[in-house]
Amino acid sequence: MKSLKNIYKHPLISIKDLEIIYKAHKKVFFKKGEYILMTGQIANAYFCIEKGIVRTYAIDYKGNDITTGFIGESEIVVDVFSLFHQSPAKEYIVALTDCEMYKIDFDTFQELYHASKGFNEWGRAWMSHSLFQLKQRIISMVTEAATDRYKSLIEERSEIFSQVPLKHIATYLGITDTSLSRIRKELIK
C-alpha cells in the first residue's frame, strides 16, 4: 500500500477519494521474466509497483532489443499510448525481478478520473511530469556524452545497478556492452 500512498499524493485528492482510489486497485504478482504487456497487445490497465523493477523495451529495425525504460517501486507501469488510444503496444513490459503491484483497469480509472476533481488533477500532473521526463531523456541522448548519461543514471536511479543486467543498462544508454564496460573502467580509475 506504500506505493499507492506515494503515487497518489496530490493536494486536491481528499481522504475520502484516496479510500475509493485504493479500493479500485487489485494486488497482483509477476514473477521474474514474466511479461506484463507484449507488443501487439492492447493495454487495459496500469500498475503501481509496490516491490520490484520492470523493464520496457522495443525491437529496433535490425532486430535488436533496446531498453526504453526502467520502472521501480512507487512508480507507474503503463503503456500510455496503448492504454489511452486502445491501440496495440509497440513495446514490451517485462518483470526483471519478482514484482508485487497494484492494478487498476482502464474502465475503473476512467470512472474515477471523471468523478474526482482531485484524481483528475493528479492524472494531469502525472502525465505532465512523465512528458517532461521523456523530453529530458531525448535531449540528453543527443546532447550528452555516454559517460555523462551513465553518471546521471547512477545519480538518479542507483537502485537499478543492483537489479538490472548491464546489457539492458547499455541499450538504455544507447551504447554497446563493450562501451559501457570501458566507461565503468575509466570511472573507477
For 94-128, the pLDDT digits (tens) are 999 999 999 999 999 999 999 999 999 999 999 99
What share of the chain has pLDDT > 90, as a percent? 97
Q: Which residues contact 121 (CB under 8 A, 6 or more apart)?
A: 10, 12, 13
| β-sheet bridge partners, residue 45 | 105
Q: What is the pLDDT of residue 22?
A: 96
Per-residue pLDDT band at 23 (split at 50, 70, 90): very high
Measured CA angle at 156 (ends 152, 159), to 5 deg: 120
Q: What cell does 51 get? A: 516491490
Do 119 and 112 touch, CB atoms closer than 8 A? Answer: yes
Q: What's the pLDDT score for residue 77? A: 98
Domain extents for the chain? 2-116
Q: What is the pLDDT of residues 40-74, one digit of tens each?
A: 999 999 999 999 999 999 999 999 999 999 999 99
Class of domain 2-116: mainly beta
